[in-house]
Structure 1
Amino acid sequence: MPATAITGAVLRRSLRAYQVYGANTGVGKTVMSTILCGALHRAFPQERVWYLKPVSTGPQDEADDGHLSRFSPQTKSKTLVQYGEPVSPHIAARTASTKLTDAALREQIQRYVNDCAGQEQGTLLVETAGGVHSPTPSGSSQADLYRPLRLPVLLVGDHRLGGISASISAFESLHIRGYDMSTVVVFEDAQYENHLYLRDYFAKRDIPLLSLPPPPPLPPSNNLAGDRERMAEYYEEMASRPAVLDTVKALATSHTARLARLDSMAPQAHKHIWYPFTQHSGMTPASIMTIDSAHGDFFQTFSSGQTEKKLEPTLDGSASWWSQGLGHANPQLALAAAHAAGRYGHVMFAGAIHEPALSLAELLLKNLGNPRMQRVFYSDNGSTGIEVGVKMALTAAAKRYGYDDDKRQGKKMGVLGLKGSYHGDTVGAMDCSEPSTYNERVHWYEGRGHWFDFPQVKMKEGTWIVEPPEGMESEFGPTQEFASLNDVFNVEARDGSAAAEQYRKHILETLDRLVRVEGKTFGALILEPIMLGAGGMLLVDPLFQRTLVETIRSSHALFSSSSTPPTTDDTTWTGLPVVFDEVFTGMTRLGPFSPSALLGVQPDISVHAKLLTGGLVPLAATVASEAIYNAFLGSEKSDALLHGHSYTAHAVGCKVAETSVKELLRLEASGAWDAFKEPWKGLKEHKNENEKGEVWSMWSPTFVSTVSHRVEVESVVALGSVLAIKLRDENPGYASNAAVGLQSALSRLSDGFGIHSRVLGNVFYVMAGQTTEVDVVRRIEERVLGALAG
């Protein structure tokens, strides 16, 4: 199988490239291209001019590149794919011997651009076929096929009846997909005067419009020579017009300005921008990545070398802080956002409802598979969603156990969690985590709780193990070895193991000491299920988390003066409310839609963000049980959950989230990840009937094993789309620089792309997206192995 083409955006210092789109079929794209090519030769006589038609249909002797060759012979003209049948490309392609994919066609265009850029200075016009949304050979829309190239657009408007609407619709379709509109060109028509209306319309958007007289009509008799003579005269006149010459000169000016702006962005950012999670001391403009656009798994980043300035594809290896899953600039999500923005903008949510918010709530409650959940509370992002969840849990516990009296006496209520966990950067969310590099300089930080150390799952030298924390073998038992990762996650079979009993004993003894001996009060258990993200991509033994949840739920007498627990069913919480922080681990990031499926236990409250909206806009959903909701019912307003944000349940975010969730569910159900799952199926040591709970990774087991044998590698973790490599270091942790060398090596352009990544101390991680192709992941694997070997 050939490697997937990774196409970069088209921008070269030596080559001004533009895409000619038509508002409709038959609007004169080729005629306008011929005029502009002629004007370019006149305006820049020392430069080359190229014309490219990627796809054409119809007889060869009627091809558009032939028209350019006849009437602009100085222009180098070419068609990449010519179908002989004069029909839409998607129909003509049905009879072709080989199927042409969008990626393959973009790769051909990229090669042609590179050939042109390697020659003299010049301009390239790339003319599309038909209208903006005319089908490609694969059946996709042209607007989506060419989008990754990010070529500035010359839009040929429609001068005919209905052309105003067609031209504006074409512009909006391109604009919403992130195209830059350089200019609009249109023929003049005395009857309809579309060009006058469109001139005013586009002037309000700072887009220039060039209008020209139409070409001479065909002669009444079949006088081919006379027609060609009249067209040659027409082209000569049009290409010499001052307005046309000014237009092509303006294109050259805008090209230079675009390069200059990209060149200046990093220095300007260095002067004015305060970056998150960044120590700016020693930072230079050269260390700042300039992103011109993004598509799929890749940024298009600007390279400002001394000899060449261009855009290069750079893999978004951190999934833009774990938010991406459906690809950058996903047109489905962009259209969903535009629809909601056009219909609602933002509307007040308290005491109101709109369709996107209700539909998303229903969708989440249906698909989380948690019978406890009945209520959805919306907020701005993962951190605020956690604050909401903690408020819910603490209030419910305080109301049931009378903790408000303790509060009045100055006794503080805390949470239970895991060491290394992190739940966000707002102060309340930070207080749910133990002291760390993230919060040690935050003056209001006051860690409120107890955090259990825990056994970790990792691969070492080709073997999956569950390793106890250093020095805690007596509490957790010795290191356990497993034949496969699936065996580690077969928690039902492990429930009766010696490890489970040791876990339970350790948890009970710790709780008893904290509550009965030290007199501490707790109001919630908050966990990142399965994997701790900011803590270093730590894979927790699922049996430990499962045992922790079940032990706390069965320990009602520890937290209550009454030894009789409330009536229990699938919706009532006991012991303490359990909060799952699924901001990072949820929404198929680790495989299943909810990581609860891998634990076999459900929370009372769960928090969702990041992949919830496919990384397009911020939104969080805190989902809670009816028992939690009931704790806020009362006669006073102060009894209510007094929490909210100006943009609570903003319609744009809710609509995008609904679209994102539906697409993730479709991918899960359609078998889109089967090629990734297949290599892991042969490693199962038992039959897992729960398909939602099956364990697999996009990273191949052979690759994971190979990396784990590297001498500089301490261990490897791979689950779902996440790969984490822990490098050996005498001083591991967030302050370590052990992973910087690997990060730097992978950032360099190789195999057609660079890899941008973040590190967590001595942990290097890479994250694929839910739509990343198998070949791309395998090429990343090769790059990682090469960097480790180098």
Structure 2
Amino acid sequence: MSQSRVWHPFTQHALEPAIPEIVRTEGAYLHRADGTRVLDAISSWWVVTHGHRHPRIVKAIETTAASLDQIIFAGFTHEPAERLAEALVNLAPPGLDWVFYSDSGSTSVEVALKMALGYFRNIGAPRSRIVVMEHGYHGDTIGTMSVGARGVFNAAYEPLLFEVDTIPFPAAGREQETLDRFEAVSRDQRAAALIVEPLVLGAGGMLMYPARVLAELKKIADASGTLLIADEVMTGWGRTGTLFACEQANISPDILCTSKGLTGGTIPLAATLATDAIFQAHYSTDRKRTFFHSSSYTANPIACAAALANVEIWNDEPVAERITALGALQAAGLRRFSDNPFFTDTRATGTIAALDLRAASPGYLAEIGPKLRAFFLDQGLLVRPLGNVLYLLPPYCITGDELDRLYDTIEEAGERFGSKP
């Protein structure tokens, strides 16, 4: 391959080695141009659920592309979007009756934030504050950076970001502090919405908290008239053990964001689901109350068809059983680290497993992260640590033997790179 002109995401090109080319994907594997294959232990940034190139999703894309490509979605509609919206309303927590399409997790959250502010403006009780959870991540657009954790990732863009109110992460034993802080900031009736990643904070370090905390946050939000936005971009489609993480708290958010696994990870698509009350606040003969948001590729028919195929897989195949089995395998794999001096804070929620490597210099930008990533890739494994935080978030088709290989290599990484307490 000639010199690449591609600028890769989250990549410091001055420090990275040559970037390998992938020529084919299948199941749990990426096939490299040199003939070797790489076990995809992170579902290619958490998007691939059933496995790469699931034949039913591929077939749906091929069939739809033979008759439809992009159609302007302002003023027109099409069958894949209509059928998918009906399916999503039926699958989502009750009360989420309207579906607004976009094309990525970040845009689905931007849509949610605008819906929340528009709702209060249109009902004549404008609120301007967004409440966020410490260590949260919701995307890399301006609005989503504003509601995510501040740091090196967005320091250069600080002048563009809006102020938010932050509640602490509900760490074990300190959950009440989170609830008390949210109750305090919501009491003044300025908060339009609380946005959270339900049960698991992904990019913040795979931090996990119990469903009862999420349920209590919803109670406080309801009492103060604050909307709850559930960012299920990563946690949705089975990752936490249920179709949506909110199910485990037995709550229905006011707005739910979904992407990543929506199409099984095959093609980009996102959706923001909202209650009828939020839709009705924008429904008017006054055009100024229109929800002013779109993108050129809203409700792409081919992407919607892929998502419909994904829904059919959930309906027809034993996906829930696969998720339960994978969760049990992850829990078993983590048990071998209970007495390992190189690791701490082993944790799992559903199919997601994580543990922290004891390192002399922890943190996302520490040298340990790239060293670990290179070490795993040399072993034919795609593991992309968050600094010294190692996590496995594999597609549901991964086998027990493949997981054993991953955990064996994690043990080896601890011995090579870890520090004892």
User: If the length of structure 1 is used for normalisation, what is the TM-score?
Assistant: 0.50
| Equivalent in the alignment of 1:494 | none
Which string of whole-angstrom CA distances, capped at 9 and with x for unpartnered residues, describes residues 696-734 of structure 1? 444133x21222422221212222222222122465432
Contact preservation (8 Å) 1:675, 1:774: no
Alignment of 1:687-766 (within 5 A): 696-701=327-332, 703-729=333-359, 732-749=362-379, 754-766=380-392
Number of positions where the alignment pairs a residue of Structure 1 with one of Structure 2: 416
**Structure 1 residue 503: deviation in Å?**
5.3
Alignment correspondent of 2:419: none
Whether 1:428 and 2:143 are equivalent positions in the alignment is yes
1:300 to 1, 13, 31: 31
Q: CA deviation at 1:433?
A: 1.9
Q: Secondary structure at the match of 2:44?
A: helix
Report the alpha carbon displacement of residue 389 of structure 1 after superposing the two structures with TM: 0.9
User: Which residue type is aligned with residue 507 of structure 1?
Assistant: F
Tell me, yes or no, if the aligned pair for 1:697 and 1:722 is still in contact at 8 Å.
Answer: no
Are residues 1:318 and 2:39 paired? Answer: no
Q: Which runs of 5+ in 2 are unaligned?
A: 417-421
Match of 1:780? 406
Letter in 2 for 1:699: Q
Deviation of 1:669 after TM superposition, in Å, equals 5.9
Give distance in 2, aligned partners of 1:622 and 1:550. 22
Bigger relative contact order, structure 1 or 2 (CA pairs below 8 A, ≥6 apart): 2
Shift of 1:736: 2.6
CA distance in 1, matches of 2:20, 2:216: 44
SS at match of 1:442: helix
RMSD in angstroms over aligned alpha carbons?
2.2
Match 1:596 to one of 246, 262, 276: 246
Structure 2 counterpart SS, 1:777: helix
**Aligned mates of 1:531, 1:698 — CA distance in 2:** 19
1:448 equivalent among 152, 155, 163: 163
Question: Could you say if the C-alpha distance between residues 450 and 666 of structure 1 is closer, same or farther in structure 2, counting changes exceeding 3 Å?
Answer: farther
- Work out the CA distance in 1 between the residues paired with 2:256 and 2:378: 39
Match of 1:402 in 2: 125
* Residues 1-23 of structure 1 deviation map (CA, whole Å, 9 limit, x = unaligned): xxxxxxxxxxxxxxxxxxxxxxx
Q: Secondary structure at the match of 1:441?
A: helix
* 2:74 is the alignment partner of 1:350: yes
| TM-score in terms of structure 2 length | 0.92
Which of the numbers 204, 226, 231 marks the counterpart of 1:535? 204
Indicate if the aligned counterparts of 1:297 and 1:315 stay in contact, CA closer than 8 A.
yes
Deviations 1:641-677 (A, max 9, x none): 011111111110000001012213434567334544x
Which letter does structure 1 place at the counterpart of 2:79?
Answer: E
Identity across matched positions, percent: 30
* Aligned equivalents of 2:41, 2:135: Cα separation in 1: 22
Secondary structure, counterpart of 2:39 in structure 1: strand
Deviations 1:469-491 (A, max 9, x none): xxxxxxx5xxxxxxxxxxxxxxx
Give SS of 1:554's match.
Answer: helix
Distance 1:577 1:511 in 2: 10
Tell me, what secondary structure is at the counterpart of 2:121? Answer: helix
Q: Per the alignment, in what secondary structure is the counterpart of residue 309 of structure 2?
A: helix
- Larger Rg over CA atoms: 1
Alignment of 1:607-622 (within 5 A): 607-622=257-272
Match of 1:767 among 378, 393, 397: 393
Q: CA deviation at 1:280?
A: 1.9
Give CA-to-partner distance per residue, 1:275-329, whole Å, 9 cap, x none.
11112223332xx122121111111123xxxxxxx41111112211111112222
Structure 2: how far apart are the matches of 1:508 and 1:673?
A: 35
Partners in 2 of 1:278 and 1:770 — Cα distance?
28
Whether the 8 Å CA contact 1:667–1:673 is kept in 2: the answer is: no
In structure 2, the CA distance between the partners of 1:446 and 1:788, relative to structure 1 (3 Å rule), is same
Report the 3-state secondary structure (helix = DSSP H, G, I; strand = E; otherwise coil) of the residue aligned with 1:548.
helix
- Aligned match of 1:635: 285
Runs of at least 5 residues in structure 1 that lack an aligned partner in the other structure: 1-263, 303-309, 405-412, 457-465, 469-475, 477-498, 556-574, 677-695
Q: Which amino acid aligns with 2:134?
A: K
- Are positions 1:439 and 2:154 aligned together? yes
Question: Structure 1: how far apart are the matches of 2:408 and 2:308?
Answer: 36
Output the CA distance in 1 between the equivalents of 2:181 and 2:360: 29
Q: Secondary structure at the match of 2:256?
A: strand
- Cα distance in structure 1, aligned partners of 2:183 and 2:264: 40
Aligned equivalents of 2:366 and 2:173: distance in 1?
22
**Which residue does the alignment assign to 2:87?**
363
